[in-house]
Structure 1
């Protein structure tokens, strides 16, 4: 009888242990953080040097914020985009797909159609994003302190309104679409307010004081800052293929081209102070 009880207990343990092991493994998997595929580490914010100051509050010309978020595809647009092997990021193309709709006919057997949407800039891949804090000189404040025996304070005052423009470094097809995609990527990487045009209003001032030593000439130079963005844009002819109840995108004649751009940083100026014995 004892042998029978021992055999029963051993049998129960042998049957239950795998289940308990599987349950423990499943619990461990649930509690273990899962690395999501396709997620890349967040790019660190661009470090702004101490010589670069934000003049957004002091600027007498209010620059409008350039907000270009990535356009969210509709359910129909996303279903089409997922059928393409080529990544589609162009906000204008996504907007076109969002405004499109194809109904499902109850009797669509044998139905076929090919719709040509045109030649598009499909995506932009960034390879380099570098700041140039002294992109363009916009102002110089000067004072001659050679006749004085004590230091003289000087601060920044914009003498006249200045427009700072950026742009692509070469002429390419669909340049407005490419500019938008480059602006989005550069803004994501730098976390800076970027726009292809920014304005510094006349009489803009900054309280930061620079002291000109006695017997010296003082020059306070102000520079507009910009981001140099470089990468590759992919083009292709886009077709919508309708086959029965199925819908898909077909990309033909795919080409790639390297491109660069200068994108000014809004409301950020780099200051360079020079004290000299001789005029410069």
Structure 2
């Protein structure tokens, strides 16, 4: 309720139906599923941060790529302290307030969230979103668009985990495997919502960019058949994750790195749990 009330009191929802839809989607529960071991003093602000990302993403659906790019670049400038929020923009004020709250808790780990957030915001409006891609090209594109490095940095912030650059480099293969898994799980389970949006919203920001479409185009399978193939791929990435982690643990690692690897697995589980149950993806009449 703390997170929901914060947005209900401050975010400029256009009407009462939008406010009810926001509550029904259960966006704050995403953070609890994704990061179940978040520290008590960080869970509220980190959840506000992720809800803010969801709501900004919803705004971009109704914009051209150029307008969306300008919008996100302004948010980046605000977070960097280059410009102040506009007096008449509650969204800009909230974005800055959330960042300031995170910095007050842990400046070092919140700073680590900045760069991947900016990369994510820029990827949302990149021309590459519209380009036709092979499966391999799409997975590479999604490394930015699914914000995997942002999610991993937010995990470290939420759990208060400090690991060295060398330790992170040593698990890059595990992180890449995780990225493929969460991006494809997200694509499978959000496909119906994205497909409906592409039909209902006449804007570049709503154009479908989803591996279900990519696989269907490449193989001639229908969308349901493509989903079944993709589910099999996800289960193989899970097996691969277990093998990669076991190998890395055999080499020896710090307690912090082990905790980080455990958190990555929890993310993979939580992402699927939330995506399977949220009304955001699973209530077609919730508009």
Larger Rg: 1
Structure showing the higher helix proportion among its residues = 2
TM-score normalized with structure 1 length: 0.25
Structure showing the higher strand proportion among its residues = 1
TM-score normalized with structure 2 length: 0.24
